[in-house]
Amino acid sequence: MDYTLALLFSLLHILSLCSAAPLSVDVVKMKSKVKLGAEQLVVKLSKDFQVPAGLTLTPPADDLYGPSSIVTVLEGYNSLICDSLNGVAQVKTEISSLTGYLNQWRQGHCSEQRPKPSVPGPLQELQSRKEFIHTVSIEALMRVKEFLSVLLKNLDQLETC
């Protein structure tokens, strides 16, 4: 009798695993496209923009709360990057492309539209120091790299509307 009960629970467990809702093809495609874009940006930022000596990024990276917050953070940092820095035009274009794609995906796949999330702490702090254009631009680039690195480790956050 004990074996029958154990077998029954094992079968029930297997059945529940098999009937779990699989990720939709759209979600898998979106995550792979975002992953590719984020990886390319991290490589480009690592190669083309070095952290100046003495620059530390405190507080830590902005939090991820789904596509809406990711778009807000990336758009916020992108707006702080000065166009006059060498080699930054392509990076800004790629950030805009990534945020545009995520925003369009969110609007088409998230039935409940959330209000625009508030600006997180690190971004808000940088926005208050706009008068130091080049310093803010470099820090914004480093924060984008840091944020994308965190996103790459937490791609499941993209599934949350």
* Distance (Å, whole) CA 145 – CA 139: 10
Indicate whether this model's pTM tops 0.85. no
99-to-9, 13, 94, 108, 133 alpha-carbon distances in Å:
46, 40, 9, 14, 23
State pLDDT tens for residues 7-61.
Answer: 444 544 444 444 344 558 888 999 999 999 999 999 999 998 877 666 666 666 6
Average pLDDT over residues 95-112: 89
